[in-house]
Each structure stands twice: as structure tokens, then as C-alpha cells.
Amino acid sequence: MSDKIIDTNVVTVLGEVDSDLRFSHEMYGEGFYTLDIKVPRLSDHSDVLPVTVSERILVDLNLTLGTMVKVDGQLRSYNKYMDGSNKLVLTIFARDMTIYSGEEELKNPNQIFLNGYICKHPVYRTTPFGREITDMLVAVNRPYNKSDYIPCIAWGRNARFSEKLKVGDHIKIWGRVQSREYQKRLNEEELITKMAYEVSISKMEIVEEDNNREVN
């Protein structure tokens, strides 16, 4: 596995354990579990992010609710069949997890770097308060001919810039992983609250000399 591939998708989050461990799946005899990590923002809000971790990493960790942990890994996506259709599910796949002692200062408790390609036409919009937003889907390659499809959201100047991007453009993104509640209407009387995950972009750049841009 080359470092070049790994370095296209790098996540570090620092937060407190916000759920019990839940068994996820087994692969080649290795068990994987999921848990939620609550990561503070600069505002009063926090992001509650799903993490998938191997039982081999968990062996020496005594995780209880409220335990502060540092997670290094990648933001992964997979399709899950739910309610009659495939849904894109995101999780932070932990390559390392440690109990946070506080000795190491981490100025940014939520950071991600992605190096990938635009795989869906960006959608530009404005909020009722006039804030500019562009939604994008970025494909990030991983070993064994697999890719992760990561929803990303750009704001303000970055929104105007990314609105002009084409499918196939090669971009690098720096930002944070965020959780966002939204409501889905089941029928005329019933609304349910669901959680979405995406990358909020703070910095981005296009790799001009290397792209797979669609030719019209």
C-alpha cells in the first residue's frame, strides 16, 4: 500500500466518546466496531462523528462515555441498502486511536485533507440569509481500485470558485468533517430528524496540470 494513496485522504479528530461500542462487521477474521465521537467547534456547537475501528486497536483502550480520544485515519464511504434504495454512508476509519492525555497540544481538533476529483456537477445556491454555498461530491482513490465519494460544502469565495468546476477536475481540499441535522418528511403528518455528514471546506486548490475533465 503506497503512502501516495494513503495521503490523499487524511483525517485527525480529537473529542470525547459519545456512545457505546457497536459491532459493525468482520473482515478476514478481524472484527470492526463503530462509536460516535463528539468533536467541539469554535462555536458552542459540536460535531458528533461516526468512527469505525478495528478490535486490534481497541485491545489496549478502556473506552467509556466521556473519554477523550484522538483518532487518525481516513473518511470512508460505502453504499448501504436502506428503505428500498442505496444510501451513501460516511465513517471515519481509524488507523490509530489513542487516549488523549492533554500533554500534546492540538490547535485544531477536527481537520481533514482530501486529494481527489469532482465526480458530480457542483450545485451553487444561496441561503435565505444570503450566504453562498456550493455542494460538491469528490471521489478520492484508495488501493485495490476502490474510491470514496465524499460530500463537500464550500462557502463564500470558495463557493463562487467551486461553482465553475467541472466533472473530472482534480482538487485538493482542507477543512473539517461536520455533522448536520436535517428533517425528512415521511408523509403529510410525520417528520423525522436525520443526520448528514460532509466536509466543510476552509481551503481548496485545483491541480491544473492533472485532471480528467469532461469534454463537451
For residues 34 and 57, state if they share a domain: yes
Burial of 119 (0-12, 13-18, 19+ CB in 10 A): middle
Q: Which of 90, 12, 28, 25 is nearest to 53 (CA)?
A: 25
d(CA 144, CA 93): 17
For residues 98 and 144, state if they share a domain: no
For residues 8 and 101, state if they share a domain: yes
Counted domains in the chain: 2
- When pLDDT is cut at 50, 70 and 90, the band that residue 28 belongs to is very high
Q: With respect to residue 216, please indicate whether it lies within any of the assigned structural domains.
A: no
Say which residues have a Cβ less than 8 Å from residue 158's Cβ, sequence separation at least 6.
Answer: 134, 201, 203, 204
Pick the range with the lowest mean pLDDT from 81-95, 133-147, 158-172: 81-95
Range of the domain at 55: 3-109
**pTM of the shown model:** 0.89
Pick the range with the lowest mean pLDDT from 9-13, 90-94, 144-148: 144-148
Q: With respect to residue 215, please indicate whether it lies within any of the assigned structural domains.
A: no
For residues 14 and 103, state if they share a domain: yes
Determine which helix (DSSP H) or strand (DSSP E) holds 19, and give its type and residue range.
none
pLDDT at 6: 53
**CATH code of the domain covering residue 28:** 2.40.50.140
For residues 22 and 68, state if they share a domain: yes
Q: With respect to residue 88, please indicate whether it lies within any of the assigned structural domains.
A: yes
Residue in this structure with the C-alpha cell 484508495, named with its chain if needed: 142
Q: With respect to residue 59, please indicate whether it lies within any of the assigned structural domains.
A: yes
d(CA 131, CA 122): 16
Report pLDDT digits (tens) over 35-46: 999 999 887 889
Q: Which of 137, 146, 145, 187 is nearest to 165 (CA)?
A: 137
- When pLDDT is cut at 50, 70 and 90, the band that residue 52 belongs to is very high
Domain end (from 58, 82, 109) = 109
Q: With respect to residue 211, please indicate whether it lies within any of the assigned structural domains.
A: no
For residues 93 and 123, state if they share a domain: no
What are the φ and ψ backbone dihedral angles of 3, each rounded to 5 degrees? -65, -30
Domain end (from 54, 86, 109) = 109
Mean pLDDT, residues 192-206: 92
Report pLDDT digits (tens) over 88-127: 899 999 999 999 987 777 788 999 999 999 999 999 999 8
User: Can you list the positions of beta strands (E) in the chain?
Assistant: 9-17, 22-27, 30-40, 46-54, 68-82, 85-99, 110-126, 132-142, 146-155, 170-185, 191-206
Q: Which letter, b or e, does each residue of 45-83 get, where b requires 16 or more Cβ atoms within 10 Å of its Cβ?
A: ebbbbbbbbbeebbeeeebeeeebbbbebbbbbeeeeee
Helix (H, G, I), strand (E, B) or coil at 161: helix
For residues 49 and 136, state if they share a domain: no
Whether the per-residue pLDDT at 1 is higher than 60: the answer is no
Q: With respect to residue 149, please indicate whether it lies within any of the assigned structural domains.
A: yes
